[in-house]
């Protein structure tokens, strides 16, 4: 029977049993947790002068953890967001161990007492209407590659899908009905499924793109006829950002990725009057708090509201100080 005092025993269970079987987290998330532990364990082993496989749970103290986080920032030049992401993964492992091993509850509390570092959240980047229009106009639709690239960009903007969701899209996930409601099924993080409506123009392009394809084939293929990867989607976007910048130079002043297009979709939906809960469902967010970020960062929407509100005037009226209201004090004393 494996020794429960060894950290390696719990690391294996955490990665295979908890993340995969119990939580069913996305592959990228699993890899992020794995990478965190792949950095932490050699660091802790060096600190304790032990082999990695002989590390005990108690060898990972809060002081060791703090030194590890400090090394991420100073030696690896990681941002505070990355530091906090690594710490979140370690907190999750500590909680997993404590739930299954009561003798490690005190150790878990020590590890989870290591705080996250505060930082100024950067403004979410998004494209204005002129910028997204310039980007969509960049591909040469006279060629097969240009038509595919335009379909990729239009789909990203229409659906707000993540790069991985777009790369994994299958013909069977398309529900295209001439004269009816066009929609697609997206398989998001943690195996969650959501449905997203499509514009008629998007549906038409996808229908043309997938002619004579079997349901199990990918919608977007590379030049070798294989399913496009998320890295391929990044490459397509970068290529047309440079091309579109000839007519829209502001594109070069922004850091643009498929997730930027996702932010653009959310922001433009919000400006069009779509309620925040519908946008949450559209993007596949678990928490409404995640979607609320778009309402907080859309300066144009705030300015629009302010222009319609006019100036606020506060009525100046003499009000008694609360200490001069004996009835209220009597009420409080009676409680």
b/e burial code for range 149-182 (CB count within 10 A of at least 16 → b): bbbbbbbbbbbbbbbbbbbbbbbebbebeeeeeb
Which of 83, 162, 170, 280 is catalytic? The answer is 162
**Residue 102 half-sphere exposure, CB side, CA atoms within 13 Å?**
0
- Assign 273 to helix, strand or coil: coil
Residues 6+ apart with CB under 8 A from 316: none
Catalytic status, residue 321: no
Which of 126, 157, 240, 294 is catalytic? The answer is 294
Map tokens 């705030």 to a residue. 302
State the Cα–Cα distance between residues 23 and 16, nearest whole angstrom.
10
Catalytic status, residue 223: no
Catalytic status, residue 259: yes
Catalytic status, residue 49: no
State the Cα–Cα distance between residues 72 and 68, nearest whole angstrom.
6
Residue 98 near residue 107, CB atoms below 8 Å: yes
Which of 112, 189, 230, 254 is catalytic? The answer is 189
Which two three-digit tokens encode residue 175? 């529900």
Long-range contacts of 1-4 (CB under 8 A, 24+ apart): 4/101
Map tokens 């993540």 to a residue. 162
Which two three-digit tokens encode residue 172? 């069977």
Which of 100, 230, 259, 271 is catalytic? The answer is 259
Residue 139 near residue 146, CB atoms below 8 Å: yes
Catalytic status, residue 294: yes
Which two three-digit tokens encode residue 116? 């996250």
Catalytic status, residue 192: no
Phi, psi (5° rounding) for residue 85? -65, -45
Active site residues per annotation: 162, 189, 259, 262, 285, 294
């Amino acid at each position: 029977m494996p020794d429960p005092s060894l950290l390696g025993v719990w690391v294996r269970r955490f990665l295979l049993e908890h993340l995969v079987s119990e939580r069913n987290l996305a592959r990228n998330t699993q890899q992020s947790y794995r990478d965190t532990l792949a950095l932490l364990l050699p660091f802790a082993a060096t600190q304790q002068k032990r082999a990695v496989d002989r590390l005990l749970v108690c060898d990972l103290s809060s002081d060791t953890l703090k030194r590890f986080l400090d090394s991420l920032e100073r030696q690896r030049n990681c941002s505070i967001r990355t530091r906090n992401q690594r710490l979140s993964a370690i907190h999750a492992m500590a909680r997993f161990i404590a739930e299954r091993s009561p003798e490690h509850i005190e150790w878990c509390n020590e590890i989870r007492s290591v705080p996250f570092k505060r930082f100024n959240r950067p403004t979410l980047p998004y494209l204005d209407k002129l910028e997204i229009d310039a980007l969509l106009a960049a591909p040469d639709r006279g060629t097969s590659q240009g038509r595919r690239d335009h379909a990729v960009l239009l789909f990203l903007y229409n659906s707000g899908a993540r790069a991985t969701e777009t790369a994994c899209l299958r013909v069977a996930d398309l529900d295209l009905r001439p004269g009816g409601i066009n929609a697609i099924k997206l398989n998001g993080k943690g195996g969650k499924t959501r449905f997203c409506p499509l514009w008629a123009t998007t549906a038409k392009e996808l229908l043309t793109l997938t002619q004579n394809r079997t349901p199990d084939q990918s919608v977007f293929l590379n030049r070798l006829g294989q399913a496009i990867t998320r890295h391929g989607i990044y490459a397509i976007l970068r290529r047309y950002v440079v091309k579109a910048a000839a007519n829209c130079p502001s594109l070069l002043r922004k850091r643009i990725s498929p997730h930027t297009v996702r932010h653009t979709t959310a922001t433009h939906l919000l400006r069009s009057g779509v309620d925040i809960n519908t946008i949450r469902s559209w993007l596949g967010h678990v928490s409404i708090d995640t979607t609320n970020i778009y309402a907080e960062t859309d300066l144009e929407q705030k300015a629009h509201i302010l222009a319609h509100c006019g100036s606020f005037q506060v009525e100046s009226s003499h009000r008694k100080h609360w200490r001069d209201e004996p009835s209220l004090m009597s009420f409080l004393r009676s409680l």
